[in-house]
Structure 1
Amino acid sequence: MLDHIRLYALLASAILISLSLFTTFSRRHHKKYPPGPRRLPFIGNLLDMPSKDGWITYKKWSEESGSDVVHADVLGSHIIILNSAKAANELLDKRSSIYSDRYDCFISFSARLMGFHFNHVFLPYGDQWRRQRRAFHAHFDATTSKAYRPLEMQAVQRLLRNLISSPDNFSQHLRLMTGQIILSIAYGINVQSEGDPYVGAAERVLEGFSLASSSRLALLLDMVPWLVYMPSWFPGAGFKEEARKWLPAVDRAIGIPHAEVQEALAAGKAPPSVTATMISQLGENPTKEDIWVTKAVPGSIYIAGSDTTLSSLSTFFLAMILYPEVQRKAQAEVDSVTCGSRLPDFSDFDELPYVNAILKEVLRWHPVTPLGVAHRVMEDDVYEGHFIPVGSTVMPNVWSIMRDPVIFPESDRFLPERWLVTDPPPFPEVAFGYGRRICQGRFMARESLWAGIANVLATFDILPVKDNLPKEVYTSGIISFVVFIYFHT
């Protein structure tokens, strides 16, 4: 019986592939797609797709083709990469009404298999996404985010104490800081130590998230989305079994703190938090959807906030080691404002232009999501004479945009001075996404990052380990992290 099922599955797969390829080749003869690598029969650009550092490969495609928009066809799936600010702004911002969907195969994997269906970042464009977006905006707009400054400063001060006691563990201390900020804001949880169970639960969830969002896996599902519906024994679908292992961790991570806030509210003992506020505002007869949003929004904060801020802070540490002259200049500015007698706080923000420039340069030099989070176009479209078919996966190459030599001369250098000229480039907002899909936690993220940078500069010299320098190496997932690999100078 099992052999028959497998045979039917293989036949169904062959039919699906044939239909997809027939449709693709039929349309190809009638439409002019953006330029890209030469396609092979049947498999298209399957062999051209990078397994790591895709942002570098896609930028090279643009340079070779002379176009800021390039196209790849992988087994019938269209992938459009935007390698310039002009193209990304035109399509993802100005035409956001048709470029704000998410590609279904990634959602199928992360949401249905691993339990990330609560995260509005990956929800398809529609009513549920709009509800969560409105709720998120109510708690994280530019004004409301300022209410979280005391919590951010508390976490930063703990970071400083931990760095003093064990500087070698700075990566763990940075993760604790970001976890403390997120958990206190989302649930009112007072993180106690690096062994805190809530931080541990968050780390396990983020491990699963890294698996779900790895560029290789997401690309596989874009190429052959029907793998999501195949049994785990089917060739290429083994990821499903691995994904299911993370489901309990995700359920516990967002379910337990939410339930504890509910209990604390009932007992009149709940500390202030986004969850407590949202539950208190439900009214007497909330719908299931209303209750779900009170769970989904804090859960999204959990996922969207911790790793992104951690990535940027790690890039800051790397830059300070590789560019000691920048560090010395920033420390002198901080000392001139605080006189070395206190720590900087948010009241010093306008008095520290060089520190502010470092924050911008951190976001530019290596963006947290170098390929953004891919959009899905909901209608056929045309850009500068090139056809973009409905359903295409559209990727903004944020890394390439941030290294445009016309806008950012000497773009490979970490150069805060580029933001202090008379006519500086625009704030690197694209680091947080585009259009209706822009990160709504960006105001809180900026302030957390600024507080960490300013206070570390005020307190420490960031130096390499003896005579070793870290190499500028980053991971290739949707969230990219610096890998502190050392080599002898």
Structure 2
Amino acid sequence: MLPLTNSTWLDLCLAGVAVYLVKQVFIKKNPVSYPPGPPGWPLVGNVTDMPRIKPWLTFTEWGKKYGDISHVEVLGQHIIVLNSVKTGMEMLDKKSNMYSDRPVLPMCGELVGWNLSLGLLPYGDRFRWYRKNIHRIIGSRAAMDVYNPIEEIETHRFLKCVLTKPDQLQAHVRHTAGAIILRISHGYEVKENNDPFINLADHAMNQLSRSSAPGAFMVDIMPFLARVPEWFPGAGFKRLAREWYETREQMVTAPYKFVKDQIAAGIAPMSFTSNLLEGRTLSAEEDNMAMWSSASLYAGGADTTVSAIYSFFLAMTLFPDAQKKAQAEIDVVVGPDRLPSFADRESLPYTEALAKEVLRWNTVVPTAIPHRVTEDDIHDGYYIPKGSLVIPNISFMLNNPRTYTNPSQFNPERFLAKDGQELELDPRTICFGFGRRHRLTTQSSDSLAFDCIGLHLADASVWISTAMSLAVFDISKAIENGVEITPELDPSSGSISHPKPFKCSIKPRSAKAIALIQQDANY
């Protein structure tokens, strides 16, 4: 077989454009117009308009200019951007039967190999198998209660680490999030320092975030590029994908093998994975589904809570008044002789509101993974063609002044009843996405049911970290050479966004606080 030359590849690209043009000639006439959006170019459409870094900022500008629904087209691929909670709920929740599919993401899904993870799966038997098993373990607050001791003990260990080395806050947050999810997903107790599974998750989740960010790689816009060889000019993404594939493969298989080895030795502790495997004979397909559902749980809890808890420390550094109010509440309800626990949660409404505000103030998932439309639709007078990608701009939704008063301010009171004023929208309804995969519904005034399977875990982790940290630490701006350092809010690009690393001062509130931190924290 003759090797493909650069001119051959150019011919193939031109052939692809020709096929696209032929399709345009014979395409049916739209029943109504597309939503408004930036004007495109002939042939390539809006290929130059698609942002590759922090896409939510560009999407916000489109919202201001074109309204709640905007539209672009890139080489025949229609992309719909949503900039309001109302539109997101009307389309992705109420019409979830046609808006909850996932697109094929060539970079993240096919090349890096995350296509079998829960977040990228289309609806089908495999998706339902994952969901059923994961929902049984962490799908409700009641189901999560059995893991409360793990959350409390690992967060207590986190306090010890912060007390000893406060300048390594980000590493402590990541270590603790990994410790919690690995205990739940695989029954694995992490090493105190330099744990291999924590490091693996750190690399893999960073790569997952980068590979799934909207517009980050042209191969997601022009899928035929997935077939070009690594040596082809501009195909550097293929080398990245090969490296990231290896990391992803290790993250999925290594913890799963650990559980199988533990079961064979008769020493496996209770975990999501051991529950799927022990006492059962699985087919090859079931074994693969068990491995991937475990990996999906592991991946889902390994990075989102890291972003949220690090955001909490940034918020407390910048907004000391909110910190003092929460500490005053904790001092009255819990007192100085013990650490807060989940049993105190209902008695700490301001602390609860503060944890909600953390999720709103600095968005963990700014745009979410795109949805794919499975049928033609007309919404609000606009034509949404089958196959369109729908991207909710969650970052703007959580900072929209029409929804949240003074959104740049960190204000937990917006979620507390006061003088008959209506509460502002609970950010947990949208902060991790929309649709049948992600919906939060209200069962009663006191019971929230999250349809996003990982949201109860994230919600619990953020709350217990908030309550315990505020009980024993004062968090403030760092001072260097007599100058107070004010950190900036500068979230990273990627599908999971993290605050820019910052400096702060973390000091124990009292001698009693030190004693509480230094108590044993063992299983």
State the TM bucket, normalised to the shorter chain: over 0.9
**Counterparts in 2 of 1:133-148, with a 5 A limit?**
133-142=131-140, 143-148=142-147
Q: Deviations over 1:253-302 (max 9, x none)?
A: 22222122112212221111111001026x34x22221112211111122
Aligned to 2:42: 41
| Helix, strand or coil at the partner of 2:475 | coil
Aligned to 2:388: 392
What is the rounded CA distance, in whole Å, between the counterparts of 1:236 and 1:382 in structure 2?
38
Judge conservation of contact 1:363–1:431 (CA < 8 Å) in 2.
yes
What is the rounded CA distance, in whole Å, between the counterparts of 2:113 and 2:213 in structure 1?
16
Aligned to 1:354: 350
What is the rounded CA distance, in whole Å, between the counterparts of 2:129 and 2:24 in structure 1?
36
Q: Deviations over 1:407-440 (max 9, x none)?
A: 2111121111100134213322211211222131
What is the rounded CA distance, in whole Å, between the counterparts of 2:134 and 2:23 in structure 1?
40
Judge conservation of contact 1:119–1:299 (CA < 8 Å) in 2.
yes
Q: 1:236 to 1:217 in 2, by over 3 A?
A: farther
Judge conservation of contact 1:82–1:88 (CA < 8 Å) in 2.
yes
What is the rounded CA distance, in whole Å, between the counterparts of 2:454 and 2:4 in structure 1?
50
Deviation of the 1:28 alpha carbon: 9.0
Aligned to 2:485: 468
Q: 1:83 to 1:259 in 2, by over 3 A?
A: same
Q: 1:485 to 1:42 in 2, by over 3 A?
A: farther
| Helix, strand or coil at the partner of 1:418 | helix
Aligned to 2:312: 316
Deviation of the 1:5 alpha carbon: 4.6
Q: Deviations over 1:90-125 (max 9, x none)?
A: 111111111111111x1x322332232331101123
Of 456, 460, 466, the residue aligned with 1:447 is 460
**Counterparts in 2 of 1:393-412, with a 5 A limit?**
393-412=389-408
**2:270 pairs with 1:272:** yes
Judge conservation of contact 1:379–1:390 (CA < 8 Å) in 2.
yes
Q: 1:36 to 1:258 in 2, by over 3 A?
A: same
When the two structures are superposed, what TM-score results if normalisation uses the length of structure 1? 0.94
Deviation of the 1:146 alpha carbon: 1.6
**2:89 pairs with 1:89:** yes
What is the rounded CA distance, in whole Å, between the counterparts of 1:335 and 1:27 in structure 2?
67
What is the rounded CA distance, in whole Å, between the counterparts of 1:203 and 1:392 in structure 2?
32
Judge conservation of contact 2:212–2:369 (CA < 8 Å) in 1.
no
**Counterparts in 2 of 1:304-343, with a 5 A limit?**
304-343=300-339
**Counterparts in 2 of 1:171-190, with a 5 A limit?**
171-190=170-189
When the two structures are superposed, what TM-score results if normalisation uses the length of structure 2? 0.88
Counterpart amino acid of residue 60 in structure 1: E
Counterpart amino acid of residue 406 in structure 1: R
What residue ranges of structure 1 are gaps of 5+ in the alignment?
none
Between structures 1 and 2, the one with greater helix share = 1
Judge conservation of contact 1:45–1:73 (CA < 8 Å) in 2.
yes
**Counterparts in 2 of 1:368-379, with a 5 A limit?**
368-379=364-375
What is the rounded CA distance, in whole Å, between the counterparts of 1:74 and 1:115 in structure 2?
24
**Counterparts in 2 of 1:50-449, with a 5 A limit?**
50-65=51-66, 67-104=67-104, 106=105, 108-142=106-140, 143-218=142-217, 220-280=218-278, 283-284=280-281, 286-421=282-417, 422=420, 423-428=422-427, 429-438=429-438, 439-449=452-462
Q: Deviations over 1:48-98 (max 9, x none)?
A: 222323222212212212x21000112222110011111111111111111
**2:11 pairs with 1:15:** no
Counterpart amino acid of residue 299 in structure 1: A
Deviation of the 1:202 alpha carbon: 1.7
Q: 1:472 to 1:2 in 2, by over 3 A?
A: farther
Judge conservation of contact 1:146–1:444 (CA < 8 Å) in 2.
no
Q: 1:275 to 1:3 in 2, by over 3 A?
A: closer
Counterpart amino acid of residue 68 in structure 1: D
Judge conservation of contact 1:359–1:453 (CA < 8 Å) in 2.
yes
| Helix, strand or coil at the partner of 2:70 | strand
Aligned to 2:471: 458
Judge conservation of contact 1:96–1:435 (CA < 8 Å) in 2.
yes
Higher mean C-alpha deviation, range 417-426 or range 347-356: 417-426
Judge conservation of contact 1:370–1:480 (CA < 8 Å) in 2.
yes
What residue ranges of structure 2 are gaps of 5+ in the alignment?
439-451, 505-523
Deviation of the 1:404 alpha carbon: 2.4
| Helix, strand or coil at the partner of 2:119 | coil
What is the rounded CA distance, in whole Å, between the counterparts of 2:207 and 2:62 in structure 1?
31
Deviation of the 1:476 alpha carbon: 1.4
Higher mean C-alpha deviation, range 184-193 or range 121-130: 121-130
Identity of aligned residues (%): 37
Judge conservation of contact 2:53–2:216 (CA < 8 Å) in 1.
no
| Helix, strand or coil at the partner of 1:204 | helix
Judge conservation of contact 2:100–2:372 (CA < 8 Å) in 1.
yes
Deviation of the 1:192 alpha carbon: 2.0
Judge conservation of contact 1:210–1:479 (CA < 8 Å) in 2.
yes
Q: How many residue pairs are counted as aligned between the two chains?
A: 481
Q: 1:234 to 1:102 in 2, by over 3 A?
A: farther
